[in-house]
Structure 1
Amino acid sequence: MLCYLPAYSQNSTPTVSENKTVSDNLAEQLQSLSKNNASDLVYLQTSKGIYETEEDLWFKGYVLDAQNFTPSARNKILFVQLIADKTDKAVWENKYEIENGFVNGHLFLQDTLQEGTYTLAAYSSASYTRNTNEFYAVKKLEILKTINHKAIVNPVAKDSILQFTTFPEGGNLVSGIQGTLGFKAVNSKGIPVNVSATLYENNKPLLDFKSSHAGMGSLIFTPDANKEYHIQLTEPKSKEQFSITHIYQNGKVLQLLRNTKEALTFKVSQSAALNPEIIYLRFQVRGVVYSIASGLLKKELTIKIPLNDIPQGIAEVTLFGANTEPLAERLVYVNQDQKLNIKTELDKSNYNTRDKASLKIKVTDENGQPVMAHLGLSVYDKLYQNQQDSKNILTHYFLSTQLKGNIYNPAYYFDEKNKDRQEALNLLLLTQGWRSYVWEEFNLKELGNIRTIVFDDLKAKVNLKKADAKTKELQPQGITIFSADEKKGTDLLMADETGAFTITPNDLKKGEGGYIYLKLLAPPESNYHIGFKDFSFEEINKERKIKTVLYPISAVLETKKEVLSTLPDRPGINKLKEVLITSKKKKVFRDKYIGKLDSLARVMQFTNDFYCTSTNYLNCPRCKDGCCPGTRAKPVEGGEYVDTSQYTQVSPCGPYLNDDSKVLVYHYYSNLTEAELLSKFNIVMFKGYYGKKVFYEPIYDEVTINDSSPDYRNTIFWKPDIITNEQGEATVDFFCSDINTVFLGNIEGVSGDGLLGVGNFEFTVRKNAN
């Protein structure tokens, strides 16, 4: 007997209200934990996978709610780093504005970067916390000086170490009850190893089996607790005997019978020696409980869980006993068709160089209904595709961020060309083991409440320059905030009675592409100054050293394979050597506002220079040592003094080794460092948002199409903010370059209600294609 809120006539059986109370408690205890962990997940889409130095790296950041995958409004700042994997040091770090859950960003790859693998990493207040040991918001990239025209995938070296692990379905094998035993074989690098093996019972062969996908597989048998079992591999052949997990004399077993679009069907069995018992089966996806079934279990009980209105993703099904103790657990993947279907149609399949291409985009849901979606599109030379990177928006949100551990080639499970993908996905979840699901109740308890690392609001304070100083001066409370761009104006911030004030994300817009300045509204001789430093990236780096970066394990390409375009007449590019422009001036300030301060310092005669009244020496070394009879005085503009810049002494207060007197005419100039200038004017400087840049798109008409200047763009289109209309449609146009090659189009996106999707297309460009 089974129902969701069953009624029973016997007094010993729980009533409807009692069952409802238990069900409510089981739901509430999980959902209250997930509420405490309200967070975001960040995904980075880049314009391609392989870059050359002196190129722009374009990226789109998706900042989505961790539970429902809708664009999040929790945070306004995305902190981004480019990290060299070889040294694990950031070679670039800046802040970008999050606008309605999305970031449109870029960075320039300096020619000083060494060739190798780099990690583009992104952090926000609600996605990068101290609670978790894992970090997902990264994109692996290859950066080269010049791309190899014959990129060869090196064969993977053979690994003699093999790890073979078994996983009972639901968690336990029980004597006398037929059960499913999943298994997984990998080498020491986590690469799957396909195996054939035999299950032995009391040293006699019982069952032959083999892996069916990526070193994973399953076998069904009825264990006996009074017998001994082991597994021996026949391919690759091994003398090692692998034991299976413990077999319980009595217990309950949870088995998945069917997984369809309409429902999940489970069978719950228990040993004959156990008394009938009310059991509960809780079904949850990403911390949201969608149903709890209950029933009286005698020997076997079949339970069907409807999947109407359930979102795509990993679901956890947990079996509870009458006392709500967890007895078994099973991860399943549901509603894989519930996604954005992105269809693309080009006006041609082959283009001439510099041709105009028109692309129509149509987005629908699983029922064929049009969907308004926010899409990112890149069109690039196939040579710059990283074939070994199997990460996309689907694998990131549906698998990598939901399971603990690195997943081998997750894109396989979302490629509709793979007819066995659903069976393979079932094996993946069967062999993950207990508590691998990040939304599992025990994991949520371990996480506790969110502990933030970086913040959107930056804290600052007006302090005394010397902490122990005594002053009758009233603490200034006014602070002006501005940038070098006078058009952006000046705003006023007010400190509270303790001197504390806040810099908001909106304030960072003033310094977009440059620096922001805070000036204390106080006289120059004030004993107060602004105490402020942005420690965001320092905190990120500290935490980064103790977190494990989880990234899909690349699919192994077993044979050498050229990724060069089939068209051999790719134009060569001769790069000019870098030209460095230098100045004869002693200092070059980074911001034009600092230049203004430097000029102002000259007018105000801010200088550390002095002359000795007895010797007329400018910056007299003996005066500095305190052994000159003369006194120090500030030099006069246009005055004549003896230049001592080349004087050296045998010892302090000793004679000069070279005292060739040279008289100079003194002119005031600021010889203060940048930090000294800011301190003199009681100003603090920090970075605003990194500046936005428009992707370059040439337009070829009857005149410009014959322009002799070569067009060697390998990324010919990048648009991270395509929004489809109410009919789910959008059209974009772009122009081909002079490169004869196959171009790839990659499109990814999300809808307002959390549907995700990817789309791909390709076309050929060659001269005189028509």
Structure 2
Amino acid sequence: MDQLAEQLQSVSKNNARDLVYLQTSKGIYETEEDMWFKGYVLDAQDFTPSDRSKTMFVQLIEDKRDTIVWEKKYEIENGFVNGHLFLKNDLPEGTYTLAAYSLHSFTKEAKEFYALKKIKIVKTISQKTDVTPVEKDSILHFSTFAEGGKLVSGIQSRLAFKAVNSKGLPVDTAGALFENNILLQTFKSSHAGMGALTFTPDADKKYHIELSEPKLVSDKKYDIATIESSGKILNLLANAREYLLFKISQSEGSKPEKVFLRLQLRGVVYSIATGMLKKELTIKIPLKEVPQGIAEVTLFNENALPIAERLVFVKQDQKLNIQTKLNKSEFITRDKANLKIKVTDENGQAVVAHLGLSVYDAIYQNKQDAKNIQSHYLLSTQLKGNIYNPAYYFDEKNKDRKEALDLVLLTQGWRNYVWNENNLKEKSLISPVVFDEIKGKVQLVKPDKKAADSTPKAMILFAADENREQELMMTDAAGFFTIGSKNLKIGEGGYTYMKLMTPEKPKYQISIKDNSFEVINNERKNKTIIYPFPEIEKINPKEISPFIGRESINKLKEVVITSKKKGQVFRDKYIGKLDSLYRIQSPTVDFFCPLTNYLNCPRCKDGCHSSDRLKPVEGGVYINTSRYVWIVQCHSYLNDDRNEVVYHYPNLTEAELLAFFNMTMLEGYYGKKVFYEAVYDEVTSMDSTPDYRNTLFWKSDIITDEKGEAVVDFFCSDINSLFIGNLEGVSGTGLLGTENFEFRVRKKQK
């Protein structure tokens, strides 16, 4: 028994990693809006907030052309990211993917990628319901799956089946099982093209299935799983809150044998039972210490060889129970809403939880998105392959959700469990793609073995904002140094500047390059994107829009801001400061003769005057001698055009300016932005300025108190519509939960 536990947990120890989930403020956005999002970085085994990674790399990708339209770094604080990005006006309409990567969640070995959120971007929201009809498909994939992995002759067995079209979407089916071409029993799918039937197979007989629905395949015959002449099978009898009950059976005439039944969940072995199997053996596995999720139950023979396996979802009702209570069920425009939140566990005990809340106009809900925090962590990230509408199995309104989820696991197969022992062995070594730290080196501009020394070099790290702290950094003896999350935070919302504190001669320079996103783009092309298949919408296209009397918004087509100041424009104000310092120091080889006012006079350069040559002044007027033809004396020329010019110092690029001052810069974490919350009182509520906020409230860091409670207030806008509230979150012990509420806003009667 120790051996069975150790052989699994030894490989799972090498897979310490994180799973990332993204919650957005809504599902559909218009261009020129802010997209607010919350990143959850949770331990892959126990779903507790993880502090392994410090930096989250975020991209917004246009799906149609696979084009990156946004990529920035965000700080991970105790397992969470509070982020936002701006959607530019020139973004084309369509589906976009918000993707997130971190040190311990994005590795080379992982073949699948889960940390993403699909959103829709439009120019202007439409009142019409966007319904995409399901295309008829002449291709049907029909498969059968024996419980435990195989059918054994003479032992009653359960056979699950699944039907999907060429796009992987479910197809409702009905048909019959034939034994030697004689009808044995009829069946039909019970959920999303899946179902199961029970019969006693006979290895000496032939079986096939014929489908009566859908009609397009009614003339086809489908073989069933292979029937073994002898062996053992594993059958789940009961899945209760406190225990699992299994029956193990073996063929008639088989010798009694000691067997082992192991239950593991996310790489941790929680139970190993043993017993003597004669013909049948019933084993009850307690679930008191087992957390919620997909468990793999494996049957081993006396030689510790696996002979049957089964996936089971345990404690489906264990979650964060989030209760919400609004002070009203209906509000008028600009009304104040008060929301009380109460969070408990399945036993009714108060829970301290970290929640994200968004309240928005229901027309911006993306009904095609079937992902939430529960389905993401408990189902989608635990199985290989895309799952159809996984949120269905965590919605208590669906009375058949437990039976339906069991069919999902029966038809997925235990080999698709990401924590299966063989799958873990494939990932025994973890090779990160991105890192929290950036490596750099201080070295001579012109390498010289004689001039080089092994003394550590000093640098000052600072931001353009003079009110922020500065930091002194030292290299090692070879000149190497490391930029970490603490250093990137210095330049949050802008850049972290690094100035080298070394003598002018010999001249050293800072060599550093951050190619994180380049590496990400190369690696993500090798991953299979795992995202739930959306529920097939059954919406009447003539359905009335949920909102009433939306006012039209007149937008200015274009606003152009111009500057009277001419010259270079830098992306950071500190670069502009460096440019001013550069010009004050007059770093130029140009000169003028004070006697003649000639600029760069070739005769003066040869020393024909005793007067010293002077540096030109920015904005000064001089005589340009570049077109003159000289004869003998300094004052003789064949061109009588004085050719006066206004002198300007050469314009240096940002890179040249930084090199001039022996500096470099790195983009820091993307800056935090405060969500705008309108506040109305007796005076401001009468303000005639229209308020068209479609997202009334967003807060990514609501933390309940020791009583499991939290209270938030927000004000309605001038939009009279149906509004939706979405709450998602996690506790410190890894409990997950989600809750939705809705209310109406009516126009104030005059």
Same fold (TM over 0.5): yes
Matched, 1:569 2:543: no
Q: Aligned partners of 1:91 and 1:470: how far apart in 2?
A: 48
Matched, 1:187 2:169: no
Q: Please say if residues 101 and 115 of structure 2, whose CA atoms lie closer than 8 Å, have aligned partners that are also in contact.
A: yes
Q: Aligned partners of 2:640 and 2:223: how far apart in 1?
A: 90
C-alpha distance after superposition, 1:212-268 (max 9, x if no partner)? 100001111111112222212111132222111211111111111111112111111
Deviation at 1:460, TM superposition (A): 1.0
Amino acid paired to 1:587: Q
Which residue is 1:590 aligned to? Answer: 571
Q: Aligned partners of 2:494 and 2:214: how far apart in 1?
A: 60
Deviation at 1:579, TM superposition (A): 2.1
Matched, 1:604 2:585: yes
Q: Please say if residues 153 and 557 of structure 1, whose CA atoms lie closer than 8 Å, have aligned partners that are also in contact.
A: yes
Matched, 1:355 2:355: no
Deviation at 1:723, TM superposition (A): 0.9
Deviation at 1:666, TM superposition (A): 4.2
Q: Aligned partners of 1:40 and 1:319: how far apart in 2?
A: 29
Q: Aligned partners of 1:445 and 1:661: how far apart in 2?
A: 84
C-alpha distance after superposition, 1:435-478 (max 9, x if no partner)? 11111111000111221111112211112334577635666611
Matches for 1:382-421 after TM superposition, within 5 Å: 382-421=362-401
Which residue is 2:248 aligned to? Answer: 268
C-alpha distance after superposition, 1:181-230 (max 9, x if no partner)? 11110001111000111112222222211111000011111111122222
Which residue is 2:20 aligned to? Answer: 42
Matched, 1:140 2:118: yes
Matches for 1:273-352 after TM superposition, within 5 Å: 273-352=253-332
Q: Aligned partners of 1:481 and 1:69: how far apart in 2?
A: 36
Q: Aligned partners of 1:436 and 1:617: how far apart in 2?
A: 82
Which residue is 2:204 aligned to? Answer: 226
- What is the DSSP-based 3-state SS (H/G/I as helix, E as strand, rest coil) of the residue aligned with 1:31? helix
Residue from 559, 566, 574 that aligns with 1:579? 559
Q: Aligned partners of 2:431 and 2:745: how far apart in 1?
A: 51
Q: Please say if residues 456 and 477 of structure 2, whose CA atoms lie closer than 8 Å, have aligned partners that are also in contact.
A: no
Matched, 1:749 2:735: no
- Cα gap change, 1:682 to 1:341, in 2 (>3 Å): same
Which residue is 2:604 aligned to? Answer: none
Deviation at 1:767, TM superposition (A): 1.4
Q: Aligned partners of 1:192 and 1:608: how far apart in 2?
A: 75
Deviation at 1:573, TM superposition (A): 1.0
Residue from 484, 487, 502 that aligns with 1:507? 487
Q: Which deviates the most, 251-260 or 633-642?
A: 633-642
- Cα gap change, 1:619 to 1:605, in 2 (>3 Å): same
Q: Aligned partners of 1:84 and 1:643: how far apart in 2?
A: 55
Deviation at 1:539, TM superposition (A): 1.3
TM-score (norm 1): 0.90
Amino acid paired to 2:12: S
C-alpha distance after superposition, 1:317-346 (max 9, x if no partner)? 011111111111100111011111001010
Which residue is 1:492 aligned to? Answer: 472
Matched, 1:80 2:58: yes
Q: Please say if residues 255 and 266 of structure 1, whose CA atoms lie closer than 8 Å, have aligned partners that are also in contact.
A: yes
Aligned length: 723
Q: Please say if residues 359 and 697 of structure 2, whose CA atoms lie closer than 8 Å, have aligned partners that are also in contact.
A: yes
Q: Aligned partners of 2:296 and 2:598: how far apart in 1?
A: 83
- Cα gap change, 1:47 to 1:634, in 2 (>3 Å): farther
Q: Aligned partners of 1:660 and 1:701: how far apart in 2?
A: 77
Q: Aligned partners of 1:429 and 1:285: how far apart in 2?
A: 14
Matched, 1:244 2:224: yes
Q: Aligned partners of 2:640 and 2:566: how far apart in 1?
A: 25
Which residue is 1:640 aligned to? Answer: 622
Residue from 145, 151, 154 that aligns with 2:129? 151
- Cα gap change, 1:152 to 1:560, in 2 (>3 Å): farther
Q: Please say if residues 296 and 414 of structure 2, whose CA atoms lie closer than 8 Å, have aligned partners that are also in contact.
A: no
Matches for 1:523-542 after TM superposition, within 5 Å: 523-542=503-522
Which residue is 2:608 aligned to? Answer: none
Q: Which deviates the most, 311-320 or 577-586?
A: 577-586
Amino acid paired to 2:430: I
Amino acid paired to 1:527: K
Amino acid paired to 1:642: N
Matched, 1:379 2:359: yes
Deviation at 1:160, TM superposition (A): 0.9
Q: Aligned partners of 1:670 and 1:682: how far apart in 2?
A: 18
Q: Aligned partners of 1:536 and 1:338: how far apart in 2?
A: 39
Q: Which deviates the most, 25-34 or 55-64?
A: 25-34
Which residue is 1:8 aligned to? Answer: none
- Cα gap change, 1:461 to 1:228, in 2 (>3 Å): same
Which residue is 1:516 aligned to? Answer: 496
Q: Name stretches of at least 5 consecutive residues in structure 1 with no aligned partner.
A: 1-22, 621-632, 648-658
- Cα gap change, 1:201 to 1:484, in 2 (>3 Å): same
Which residue is 2:49 aligned to? Answer: 71
Residue from 624, 641, 649 that aligns with 1:669? 649
Q: Please say if residues 643 and 661 of structure 1, whose CA atoms lie closer than 8 Å, have aligned partners that are also in contact.
A: no
Q: Aligned partners of 2:447 and 2:425: how far apart in 1?
A: 43
TM-score (norm 2): 0.93
Q: Aligned partners of 1:406 and 1:660: how far apart in 2?
A: 82
Which residue is 2:609 aligned to? Answer: none
Identity between Structure 1 and Structure 2 (%) = 65
- Cα gap change, 1:660 to 1:250, in 2 (>3 Å): farther
Which residue is 2:348 aligned to? Answer: 368
Name the Cα RMSD after superposition. 2.4
Q: Which deviates the most, 339-348 or 515-524?
A: 515-524
Deviation at 1:699, TM superposition (A): 0.8
Residue from 693, 713, 722 that aligns with 2:693? 713
Which residue is 2:38 aligned to? Answer: 60
